[in-house]
Amino acid sequence: MNHVKYEKRLLFMTYLLCVGLFGNLALLKSPVDKGALVMGGILIVLIGYSHFIIRKFFPDGDKFILIFSSVLATISVAILYRLDQGSATHTSLAIKQMIWFAAGITAYILIVVLMPDLKSFAKYRYWYLGATLVCMSLALTPLGKEILGARNWVKLGPISFQPSELGKILLVLYLASALMNYEDKKNIKEDFKQLIEPAGVVMASLGCMVLQRDLGSALIFFGIAVTMLFIATSKLKYVMTCLGLFGIGSVASFNMFGHVRKRVLIWKDLWTYENNQSYQLAQGLYGVSSGGLFGSGLGQGYPGFIPVNESDFIFAVICEELGVIFGIGVLLVYFLLFYRGMRSALKTDDKFSQLSAVGFSAMIISQVLVIVGGVFSVIPLTGIALPLISHGGTSMLTMFFALGILQKISEEAV
């Protein structure tokens, strides 16, 4: 029962984090900002109630998945509330994020409580295939809308969403169902035949992302596919082949598409273009450096100088005001979340559930590495959401859907 004790300690520390962040935000105003205290109180109730429900009715699974995701969501709402205070252009970002968090945590609980055993969904392989291709290509139709240079949004009346976010979930489920029956054949030709279809689906998905100028999602899909392929086959030669093909595709994309050349050019020579094309990236790095190890203090920085600071560059805001050490702590929470997901994969005997857990874990960590690598100019910048922290309903719901499935797998694996 030691894990229950550790859960309670970590849950208590999550409450303390919530009190510390929102208490600080409340004291930034005179008189005290009661709205910040209300937001903090609502978060504590949501986190505590969701943990109570999962612990009471499903006591055997991995509850650390829920706690780690709650820590990240708490940081998200707090940072967005701070941005609301410091900008006249932002309108209730924190309230919207709180609503999406409540919707996400509700979906998480419903998946765990109502969803049948995950293994029963393995038979819908071709449904996943069709739905994946539809989601990946939907933004290329007349319904697609270009935002910040990428045509990866779809607008239906007053509702806007990114179909590629749902596509991530469907791609993982498709690859899990396609690779679960893989058998090591002595004949390399027969062996490779098993992989032609999933390889075609992945290549089509990557092609759609390149055409939509959504290079971040392309990197994430590639990371998911390679990780699942290696786990399913245990053959390094297939991974090396994928890396080679990805390299060839990257060179071809560089030569064919101007937006790819532009991103690489900015990455290679950031400071030459700091006042125009790389302005966002340069301001993000200035913000991180000004915060130093311990940050300028919540509410004491100048995140308004960083463009798109509520989504793509929210990690730069965290590092500026709360410090690089706090930023490293956030990354550790992501890696712990990744570890708990992979742990669920190791605990289950069902191949479909195992591959799904690996895919969703890879999805989370790939997304973190791509956006944080872009913010620090380690790789060319790609505009994607930092999971559970960046503002955005589609991303929040998608992530909690994936985490709910991971929780379900951990419950079944016991």
Q: Please indicate, yes or no, if residue 51 is contained in any of the structural domains.
A: no
Sheet holding 159-161, edge to edge: 144-147, 150-156, 159-161
Q: Alpha-carbon distance 46 to 98, whole Å?
A: 10
Give the residues across from 160 on adjacent strands.
155
Instruction: State the pLDDT confidence band at 358, using cuts at 50, 70 and 90.
Output: very high
Q: What's the number of domains the chain is made of?
A: 1
- Within a domain: 353: yes
Q: What is the pTM of this model?
A: 0.92
Nearest alpha carbon to residue 386 among 400, 368, 373? 368
Per-residue model confidence (pLDDT) at position 150? 67
Q: Per-residue pLDDT for 195 more than 90?
A: no
User: Which residues form the domain of 175?
Assistant: 119-269+324-413
**Tens digits of residue pLDDT in 237-295:** 888 888 888 888 778 777 777 767 777 777 777 777 777 777 788 888 888 888 888 88
pLDDT(35) > 80: yes
Mean pLDDT of the 120-126 span: 87
**Within a domain: residue 223?**
yes
Residue 167 lies in a domain: yes
Structure tokens at 130: 């069709």
Residue 315 binned pLDDT confidence (cut-offs 50, 70, 90): very high
In this structure, what token pair is assigned to residue 86? 């410091």
Is 184 domain-assigned? Answer: yes
Q: What is the mean pLDDT of residues 310-338?
A: 92
The residue-averaged pLDDT of 210-219 equals 81
More confident residue, 382 or 290: 290
Q: Do 69 and 24 contact (CB within 8 A), yes or no?
A: no
The residue with greater pLDDT, 152 or 402, is 402
pLDDT over 60 at 88, yes or no:
no
pLDDT digits (tens, 9 = 90+) for 160-189: 778 888 889 999 999 999 998 888 777 777
349 assigned to some structural domain: yes
Nearest-angstrom CA–CA distance, 282 and 273? 9
User: If you average pLDDT over residues 183-200, what whole number do you get?
Assistant: 80
Question: Is the pLDDT confidence value at 91 over 70?
Answer: no
N- to C-terminal Cα distance for the chain? 14
Phi/psi zone of residue 151: left (φ > 0), alpha (ψ -120 to 50 degrees), beta?
beta
pLDDT, position 334 = 96
Res. 129: pLDDT tops 70: yes
* Proportion of the chain in helix, strand, coil states, percent, rounded to 5: 75, 5, 25
Query: Which of helix, strand or coil describes residue 149?
Result: coil
The per-residue pLDDT for 115 is 83
Q: Residues 215-224: pLDDT tens digits?
A: 778 888 989 9
pLDDT of residue 348: 85
**Rounded CA separation 333/163 (Å):** 27
Domain-embedded: residue 130: yes
pLDDT at 326: 94
Between the alpha carbon of residue 327 and those of residues 52, 236, 293, 307, the distances in Å are 29, 33, 9, 19
pLDDT for res 340: 92
Token code pair at residue 157: 């009346």
Whether residue 154 contacts residue 144, with contact meaning beta carbons closer than 8 Å, is answered with yes
pLDDT band at 29, cuts 50/70/90? confident
pLDDT value at 142 more than 90:
no
Say if residues 112 and 344 touch (Cβ distance below 8 Å).
no
244 vs 223: CA distance, rounded Å: 14
Please compute the mean of the pLDDT values over residues 379-392 and round it to a whole number: 84
Question: What percent of the chain lies above the pLDDT cut of 70?
Answer: 95
Residue 169 belongs to some domain of the structure: yes
CB atoms inside a 10 Å sphere around CB 340: 23
pLDDT for position 414:
55
pLDDT at 365: 92
